[in-house]
Each structure stands twice: as C-alpha cells, then as structure tokens.
C-alpha cells in the first residue's frame, strides 16, 4: 500500500511534468534526424507521468524530488542536442531502476541518494538499514568492454559508499540500460559474458552484488555473485 499522500503524488507529477517540459524545450531545435529519438523519450516519460500507479510508486521514495526534478539540467543553452539527450537517457535509467526497485522490494523503505561531493554515491539505498544499494548506468553502444566499464564504475561507487558508511552486510546491484539494437550479438553470448564478468569481479569487492543488463523492449540479462562457483 502506498504511503504517499494525494498531495505528494500531485507534487511528484507536477515536478516530473516540469522536467519533461524542460527537456522538450531544450531540444525543440533538434535536427530532423534526432526528432524520432527525442519523441520516443518524451512519449515514454509522458506515459509514466500520466500513469497514476507509476507516480504513486515513485512518490513513495524518500527524496523523490531529486529523482524526477532535474529540470535545471536543461536550463542552459551551452549544451549540444546530444548532451541534452545523454542527460535525459541517464536520468531515465535512474527512474527505470527506481520503478524496478519498488516492484521487487515491495514495502521496503527506498531513498534516492543525493551526491554530497564527499565521495561517489549509488543512486538508491533500500531496506531498513539502507544497505541494499543500487546504481543505474546508461549505455549508448553495446560491447562487452563497454558493459564491463559501466559495471566497474557502478560497483566502485557502491564500494565507496559502503566504506564511508562502514556497512558490514551490504549488497549491491548495478543495472545497465541500453537502447542499442544489439545487431550481431546472440543473447546466449551476452548472458554468458554477464556471468563471466560478475564471477571475474567478485574477488574485487567485499559485498555480494548483481549486475543486470537491460535492452529496452528486447531482453534482460543478469547474474549475482552467489551463483558464481
């Protein structure tokens, strides 16, 4: 059952809509070749905003304003269209991960972690002790090396936070998203790479973790350290 009040849900929807409107305004002069991609992003997020159940889940997250209220990132004319899209893609990955966490950790307290400048932080902490940690990464182009780089970057952010907090029973997950069509890559080989990567990296971290790789609208791959032998 949602803990958010009607006022909080309305506030979340208002903030998210302002953010999407900011992205639309920032990219309104995009060349025709970029328009389909921008339109797809806008349609995806408009449907989330208009979906009462999705907003309800997001507004249950502590500090949800930091999750959906990133419109200031578009209040500049110093970025290229590609940079605006890149910012939106990464933020979209965070929101997708938030929805994933609310779906798979029902009833657990979830906090959007906000960078303080002291050390790198993951995107979310879940659980009573806040030691289930999640980091999202957006991948423009798939390759095994690109996935590994994103996984290591995310795991190092989680490690820095675990060390700073002194957690002794932490668990982490890096969730990597892509829109890449994955031409020429066979799903069994992609899954095999994720499995090998997790088992290869396992010795580098003191906490158990999972790496997931999601191809939007196509496939989902993941592997946890406890499956490594």
Edge-to-edge order in the sheet of strand 124-126? 110-112, 124-126, 132-139, 171-178, 209-215, 219-224
Per-residue pLDDT for 2 more than 60? Answer: no
pLDDT-wise least confident of 22-36, 115-129, 140-154, 209-223? 115-129
Give the C-alpha separation, 198 to 209, whole Å: 8
Give the C-alpha separation, 188 to 205, whole Å: 26
- For 89, other C-beta atoms within 10 Å of its C-beta total 17
Per-residue pLDDT for 28 more than 70? Answer: yes
The pLDDT value given to residue 198:
98
Closest to 125 measured CA to CA, from 140, 108, 137:
108
Q: Which residues contact 167 (CB under 8 A, 6 or more apart)?
A: 129, 131, 207
pTM of the model: 0.89
């Amino acid at each position: 059952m949602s803990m958010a009040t009607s006022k909080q849900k309305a506030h979340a929807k208002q903030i998210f809509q302002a953010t999407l409107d900011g992205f639309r305004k920032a990219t309104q002069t995009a060349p025709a070749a970029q328009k389909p991609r921008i339109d797809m992003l806008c349609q995806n997020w408009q449907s989330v905003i208009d979906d009462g159940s999705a907003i309800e889940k997001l507004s249950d997250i502590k500090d949800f304003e930091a999750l959906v209220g990133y419109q200031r990132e578009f209040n500049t004319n110093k970025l290229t269209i590609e940079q605006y899209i890149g910012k939106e893609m990464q933020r979209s990955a965070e929101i997708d991960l938030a929805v994933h966490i609310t779906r798979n950790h029902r009833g657990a307290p979830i906090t959007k972690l906000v960078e303080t400048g002291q050390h790198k932080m993951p995107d979310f902490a879940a659980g009573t002790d806040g030691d289930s940690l999640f980091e999202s990464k957006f991948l423009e182009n798939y390759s095994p090396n690109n996935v590994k780089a994103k996984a290591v970057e995310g795991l190092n952010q989680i490690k820095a936070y675990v060390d700073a907090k002194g957690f002794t029973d932490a668990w982490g997950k890096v969730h990597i998203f892509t829109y890449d069509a994955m031409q020429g890559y066979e799903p069994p080989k992609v899954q095999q790479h994720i499995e090998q990567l997790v088992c290869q990296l396992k010795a580098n971290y003191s906490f158990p973790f999972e790496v997931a790789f999601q191809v939007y609208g196509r496939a989902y791959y993941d592997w946890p350290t406890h499956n490594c032998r």
